[in-house]
Structure 1
Amino acid sequence: MKKYSLFLCVALAGITILFSCSKTYEPVPVEQVTGEYIWDPLDSNGNYANQYLTGIYALLPNGYNRIGSDYLDAASDDAIPSRTSVTEVQKMLTGGITIFDNPDAGAWANAYTGIRRCTDFLNNFGIVPLKSAYEKRSRFGEARVMRAFFYWELVRRWGGVAIVGDSVKGLEDNVEIPRSSFARCVDYIVTECDRAIDSLRTDPVDDINLGRWSQAGAMALKAQVLLFAASPLYNGNEIGDTLNGYPTYDANRWQLAANAAKQVMDIGVYQLDPDFRSVFISQRNNEIIFAKLQGRGRSVENQNGPPNFSSAPALGYTSPTQELVDAYGMANGKPITDPASGYDANNPYANRDPRFYATILYNGAPWLNTTLETFVGGLSGPGASAGTQTKTGYYTCKFMADYSTQTQYGDSYHDWIYFRYADILLSYAEALNEFSGPGTEVYTAVEAVRSRAGLNPFTLDAGLSKEQMRDIIRNERRKEFAFEEHRFWDIRRWKIAEQVYADPLHGMSIIKNASGSFTYNIEPVIQPVFMAAKDYYYPVPYNEMISNSNMRQNPGW
């Protein structure tokens, strides 16, 4: 049966099981839920088919502590796992991925499950006689763009993959489909997005349809795909062959990416939320373009908050690195390396970029109505009596409300945001800068993000070169999107991972002196491992290699 592993991620229509449908299907045993029952020509409300589509939405990955209870960013240079055991993400950080053991390999099966279900929906939903033609057209668009999204989940990790097409394969069919080129996969995803856009709801969607794909969501997916396709790893690929990128460089790919981002901007609906922290804990704001709805809870706080608070138990799983802390710079917009920035190594957390305080918990931070202790022997520092302690002197408060004066955590919305307007602005700026240099539109987009962050002044120096603007944009992305599953992919698409991982990652060792002052020492905490010839792409899972004679492995694996 291994031969069919690519396509057995979900049962055929004859034994399809839906998410969140137990009450609806209660009169019918699961083994009798057939395609005829789902695609009911008498179901004018489309109840069963809509529940099937809802089940596909449930397959969209949730990035919170997604891999073995760690953020994917803990496999980048922004954080490391706090636990003393070798976690799944630590394997990814230290060269522990193999063709047999890849902690993120589940994305392969999950994506093909989603692709199959979307195709099943597209092939059969036409039978259902919905009263509203607009509603029916929207549902088709949702399934189409969601299928494109699942393909992108694959391509971002593995390069070109097998494009299944519009048929749902059965056990009797030939499923040994070869991988398509990277270029063909990108063209397919972009075309599917374009086909879906006119069918989807306009923005913003109403409250009833919150969380569904909209026109802007499809545009944002297209913009992200084209941004990656224009980036150094793929645009003039020197690793592998046509499965892993375009063989020759074409600057016009940057223009295509800029145009796609501009398409979202021109809708005129989305804007930056004035409060950076609130973006992640409010379900309805004008910055979120598309997110997976999660409801209210405190799981993010429980997994990542600092440990050893009896009133607010937490596990402290995530230790941000000194590299990320230093990236934030100062509130005046200058990097800490600038002599005019005002940075004080003896008081390192004063007057920093406001996004720092919404992302990093540091020694002396106000938290849970007290002062956080991450010094050696402190309540939440290395050497504390119990629990998992930070390895770097830091914890993260990204995606959390301001608990500086509270004594316990409350329930907050923790929707996983795939696309938000800040990403569109910085993607537009990056693509346009790479294509034509730092013109007025590039400055305007970057400065908008810096202004919302609260930098004063937020403006950039005039006359920056393309290379200088590139560095600023990359750093803005790092600060803006920490723990949102951007950094891990960005350092790969920029093809700088081999430099980023070359040196040890660091933390801050903090000693409390008898006088009550602190001594700060930056120390190495872990050495990443990255093999430039192969680690830019995941290995195709072993089971897929042995079950499909037409499957090709990625370079170096």
Structure 2
Amino acid sequence: MKKIYILLGLLVSTIACNSDLDQVPPNIAKSDSLSDYEGVLNAAYYYQLGGVTPMAIMGEFRADNAIMDEAPYTEFDEYDNNLTDMEDQFFGPFYTAMYKSILSANNVIANSTNSSDILEASFLRGMSYFKLVQVFGDVSVILTPQPSIEEISNVDLTRQTVADIYNNIIIPDLQNAMSSSNVGVAAEALLGKVYMYKGDYADAVPHLEAVIANGNYELQENFNEIFGADNESNSEIIYAAEIASSIVDEYSFASRFWNWYVGDDSKADEPVDPDLIAAFDASDANGGGTDLRRAVTLNEDGTTAIKFPKEGGNGSDHDWIEIRLADIILLYAEALNETGSPATTVLPLLDDIRSRAGLTSLTGTATTQAEVRQAILDERRLELAFEGHRWFDLVRTGSVNAEMGQTINSDYYLFPIPVSEVLASFGVIEQNPGY
């Protein structure tokens, strides 16, 4: 995967309008005059940074890995309609950033003559829509270049169903991107994950298997060699949002996800949920040793998450890991289990991950499909803690109530559409139920 560090000169102030969705990336404002779309593609990559911290917060603090100390942020653990108060800091910036990336990608796909750039833009568009449906469910679809503010107002912003977006946009875009020499493996890995979210385990299997067998990635020998600015682009990382402190983010907080985890924000001085500590305790007790991932994931007293440490008191150069090999191996094991493979076939796939963590094999400890399913979910929690997966894993596996220890209205499995978008569309964009 090529490394994208965008020159600040490429990115100038975005045109203001009544709706964040109406903000068109400057690189596509005069598309008919462009002959080189590399800058537009770079903009599509750049806008992905605006989704980093929102996804990190939603994936961990909504679930049982992390907690907030300060109101109103404590509402991440209160499953009611109050989350709309978080629009300015999380949902609004995330929504805007994904659509800006989509608008830039649309322009490259429609107008560039560089086939490599088109494939990368397809990957970014597919990934952006995947993140949007994970967070919001049904969303508006824009698939054409929008060279002016006036033209975007003519787009039908009625929310399209998740099923249609998967089938008509996300899957075709990722299938196209699989032939890219830069992001082809990442596209196939993400496609496998998309099928898992659809519950289409049979179609997930060959893609996940291909990434593991042919993707030229391998597990790091030591768990602590995966994370931190000194370990970026290591052999396990399939795709990451590449962050550099020298690049000013579109939103000042957006790529400082680590700040929330290490307790540097008063809204979460001690962000680790005690339930996660209990999960590590159970792993120690049942795994035949000490789970080595705990010391990499949590500080000594278990109150803060240190997986992405603060080098030099800064930490702003941490890449945000979107996909790594251990994630794909665990998904592959899950897909095989859901398609009827026996426990004796599935559980050995976890051995390398568990051995690296200082733990014994799970083979023989779980025999039924349900037991293996739970074992894999537990392994994903500890292996991927504070990488933004937990809440979305609970939702896609139907495990929210069982794992959270309470009955949660399914309306709150999704997050609220930014109120500003609902208002700016004059109600064409409808709010999610419950909000």
Instruction: Report the Cα offset of residue 182 of structure 1.
Output: 1.9
Tell me: CA distance 1:63–1:544, structure 2 relative to 1, closer, same or farther (3 Å). Answer: closer
Deviation at 1:465, TM superposition (A): 0.9
The one-letter amino acid of 2:269's match is Y
Q: How far does residue 146 in structure 1 lie from its aligned partner after superposition?
A: 0.2
Distance 1:63 1:152, change over 3 A: closer
Where does 1:365-444 land on structure 2 (aligned, <5 Å)? 394-400=303-309, 414-444=318-348
2:163 matched to which residue of 1? Answer: 183
The percentage of aligned residue pairs carrying the same residue is 25
* Match in the other structure for 1:520: none
Q: How far off is 1:441 after superposition?
A: 3.9
Q: CA deviation at 1:286?
A: 1.1
In angstroms, what is the RMSD of aligned CA positions? 3.5
User: What does the per-residue CA deviation read over 1:102-137, in whole Å, with 9 as the maximum and x for residues that have no partner?
Assistant: 4432222221111111111222222xxxxxxxxx32
Q: Structure 1 residues 432 and 4 mapped into 2: Cα distance closer, same or farther (>3 Å)?
A: farther
Unaligned stretches of 5+ in structure 2?
Answer: 1-14, 247-254
Q: CA deviation at 1:280?
A: 1.1
Is 2:237–2:324's contact at 8 Å kept on the other side of the alignment?
yes
Q: CA deviation at 1:333?
A: 6.7
Shift of 1:472: 0.6
CA contact (8 A) 1:291 1:416 kept: yes
- RCO (CA 8 Å, sep 6+): is it higher in 1 or 2? 2
Q: Deviations over 1:1-31 (max 9, x none)?
A: 99973741225667x4xxxxxxxxxxxxxxx
Which position in structure 2 is the counterpart of 1:243?
A: none
Per-residue Cα deviation, 1:123-179 (whole angstroms, up to 9, x for no partner): 2222xxxxxxxxx32211111110111111111112232222234375255223322
Q: Which has the larger share of strand?
A: 1
8 Å Cα contact 1:176-1:548 kept in structure 2: no
- Residue 191 of structure 2 corresponds to residue 222 of structure 1: yes
2:39 matched to which residue of 1? 51
Q: TM-score, normalised by structure 1?
A: 0.65
- Does residue 267 of structure 2 align to residue 324 of structure 1? no
Q: Which residue of 1 aligns with 2:125?
A: 147
One-letter identity of the residue aligned with 2:79: G
Which AA in structure 2 matches 1:196? A
Contact 1:430 1:470 in 2 (8 A): yes
Corresponding residue SS for 1:289: strand
SS at 1:80 equivalent: coil
Distance 2:220 2:357 in 1: 10
Letter in 2 for 1:485: G
Alignment-mate amino acid for residue 190 of structure 1: I
Match of 2:144 in 1: 166
Corresponding pairs, count: 404
Match of 2:286 in 1: 334
**Alignment match, 1:510:** none
Q: Paired residue for 1:73, among 51, 54, 60?
A: 60
Question: Is the 1:223–1:257 contact (alpha carbons within 8 Å) kept by the matching residues of 2?
Answer: yes
Is the alpha carbon distance of 1:435 and 1:305 closer, same or farther for their aligned partners in structure 2, counting shifts above 3 Å? Answer: same
| Change beyond 3 A, Cα 1:362–1:462 | closer
Task: Tell me the TM-score normalized by structure 2.
Answer: 0.81
The alpha-carbon deviation at position 502 of structure 1 amounts to 4.1
Shift of 1:454: 2.1
Task: Give, in angstroms, the shift of residue 98 of structure 1.
Answer: 4.4
C-alpha contact (below 8 Å) 2:177/2:183 kept by paired residues: no
* Residues 437 and 465 in structure 1, CA contact (< 8 A), matched pair in contact too: no
Decide whether the 8 Å contact of 1:305 with 1:396 is kept in 2: yes
**1:47-88 deviation per Cα after TM superposition (whole angstroms, max 9, x unaligned):** xx3233222211113677x2599674122111212x4x3153
- Structure 1 residues 112 and 316: CA distance shift in structure 2, 3 A: closer
String of CA shifts for 1:418-475, please: whole Å, max 9, x gaps.
Answer: 00000100001111101214344422322222122221x2342166111111111000
Q: 1:162 & 1:497 partners in 2: Cα distance? A: 27
**Amino acid aligned to 2:71:** V
Contact 1:330 1:353 in 2 (8 A): no
